[in-house]
Every structure is written in C-alpha cells, then in structure tokens.
A and B are shown apart, each in its own frame.
Chain A
C-alpha cells in the first residue's frame, strides 16, 4: 500500500474516503504531491468509488482545482465515481463561480455522500 503525505485514505464499504492532511492547499510542491497521490488511487490501486472529504480544508488555489479536475477525468475514464463533501463555504463559492459544481458531485456531508454512491 502506498504511503501518503497529503491524504488519508480509509474504506467505508466499497467507498474509499479520502481526507486532506493540509488545511491550505496552495503550495506548488504540495499540490504536485497531492495530485500524484490522488491519481495513484485510480491508476495504481484501481479504486472505483472515491469520496473526497474536504472537512478541515480552509483554502485551495486554482492550481489545486486543476488537479481535482484531472483526477475526476481519470476516474471517469476508469468508469469510477467521485463525490465530494464537507466543503467550506469559501471553497464552495470557488466551485460555484467557476461552475465546477456542475462537474463535481458535491454533497453536504459524508453520510449524505456515502448513501449517494
């Protein structure tokens, strides 16, 4: 099993629940590392149902958005499903102004997201 520095991964049923270890996702090096760890969940571990739980994340930049978009595309290509939850109001506003809330399936909390898989 891969060692992660940017995320914590657990399993709830068939769903891999991913939590972020950084409160602010903005440093370029950290974002690259985050992207690599997320992509490996799909490309190495072959996980098909993934919940990104943003609980505790206070900030992310557009570079981090780019990684999330690429991650979503990789998962869709692998016929997987991605959901998100626990998104702070400011980050939710970022998703809304960029209209990425139409791309991502964003749920209020983990309970709602898990039942939606």
Chain B
C-alpha cells in the first residue's frame, strides 16, 4: 500500500532513491542538498537500504565513484548543488559519453561569486551541454515520482538523468507526498542490467583514446570513431524524448499520477497568454494565472519538465495558439538572455508561431518569487505588447535597478 507523509523535497528524493534499490551512493555534502545524503546514509547504516555509501573528498570524486560503480553493473546515485555540480563538470561529460545510466538529484542553488546558498537554476542550466537528460520538478510529489521514472528512462536510453528541483523552496518545504508501495515500483522498474560490465574475469578497455579516424580494435573489428560516438549520443538524446513521454504514461497508468511527460499545461485550452517556466516558478505561475483570469485575462501555464532533450515538437504544439508568451526563469545566459527563452524562440523558428515572446528573469540567489508579482509583470508586459512592443529587453523581476551602487 502506498502511504502519504508530509515530507521535504530532500526526504521525498531519499524515499524515491530507496524505492529504486540504488546499490551505490557517493555524494559530498553541500547546502541545500545535504539532508538528502544524510537520509540515505542513515538508511544504509540502519540496514533499511542495502547499498554501499562511498565517502569521498569532493563532488568530482563522487561522480567518478558513480561512474565506476555503474561500469561494474551497479545502480548508482549521487546528488549535489551549485558549486558541487560545477566541480563535477568534467565527470558529467564522462558519464554521458560512457552512456552510463546514473541518476543524480541537482538541488538547484545559485552560483558564486558572490556566495549564495539560496535557490536559482544557474547551476544545472550551466551544465546543459554535458549530454545529460535534465528534468525539472514542480513539487515534492513530482520529485519522488520523477526519481523513480529517471532510473527507468536512464536504463532504457543509456543516458544519465539529472533530476532538478529548487533548493529550499522545495528541498526544505514540507508538503503531503504519496510514497508508492515497493511492489508497484519493483514491477515498474526492473533490476539494472548493464550494457557493459567491467570485471576481472572479462577484462576490457573502456573509453580508450579515439582518433579523428575510425580504427579496428584488437580483434580486428572496425569501431566507431569519436565523431560517430558523439553522433550516437546526440541521436539517442533526441530519441529519448519519446521514451520519457512513454515512461511517464506507463507511470501514470500504474501509479495514477500523470506529470505530463515532457511538459504540463494549466488552463491553456483557451489561453491567449502563456506563462512558461521550469520547476517551482511554474507552480507559482499557476496561481498568477488564476489571479489574471479573475481580472479577465485569458492566461495559462505551460510547465517544462524536460529541458534536455529539448522537447521541440511538444512546445510547438503547446504554444501553437498563444498570442503572447512570457518565459519566466531562474537563470541567465550572460550577455544574451535566459537560456530557456532562447531555446523556445529557436524551437518556434520557421513555424506559424509569431506571438511576442518576453523574457522574465526572476528569483536569482533565492529572491522570493510571488504569484502576485508574476501576475503584475504579466499585465505590464501585455500593456507593452498592446503598445506595439513585440519584443522587449529581458525583465529582471523585483530587482532594484534604480538604486544600484557604483
């Protein structure tokens, strides 16, 4: 029987990881991820979770341990935030290039300098191009459910998955979470069978130096070169979108909760204005939409769950009838605009979608994002659009640009 408990996001993630029978955990503590690894450490120490907890001196080593564990056929888990994720950067590429189905939680936090322990999504967005699947969660129920889906997805497509959720806003906020029963999870997620198992009985050379040209291996078999292997990762990621959606549908059938697969919609049926974003900011936007509708503005929300692979076809469909789009995000590609905004514009290129698209950067370094503010900025931008301004500079929500110090 499933049971409902009042859990923080980090507790929900730990419960999910336990249900997935993870076999190796290696992580290094960093706020706001720390309590997640503490819960797993306690579960292993008490015997509740039969797994190996490998203590390391850094996040780089934590992911290296997971890569090694996954290479010998174990289901591996790690989690981190912010600078910890950035310190993993090299190994992120290594895990994806090795096509290892590692799952990690990124508990989203801003990046220094200056120091911030608080939430935004600059950490995971800045790791966009490492070849990992990235899924963003809107509440704590979605965290536990996504984690369970993540191992299934990762092991089907042989690509590591980053389950991202907002630090403090979700990681430290308690709310009701239904914990699925173990048998249903076991039926949904079969044991991990590695595509390549490194063992002393069957020695292999994994990830040797590749050359710009293709070469035969020691048995004389012609092998893919570097470029072919990169192409295979790219095509696998592109194809992974369908797997993610299918896994989401299967999950919904078995567990009764449909998180939308690649994206979810709220009150979009007749919406002229669509607010979009990833994670808790999209949840907050649903409250803003309720307020806007009371004021006669037909607004809706499209919440992006999956950021990589970017769900191009799904967003084209979801935004087809939009007459204005507001992209609300907790990151910035310095010198340009929010990363999600750029990606959405690129997805719309060459289609019938010609709605004005406005970018709102919000909540950097933990600045609180309120539904009231999202509704207000929507009305302001709609006024600008009505005044004939189809495109505007990126709006920095609730940022005191008028009193900046020298």
A and B assemble together: no
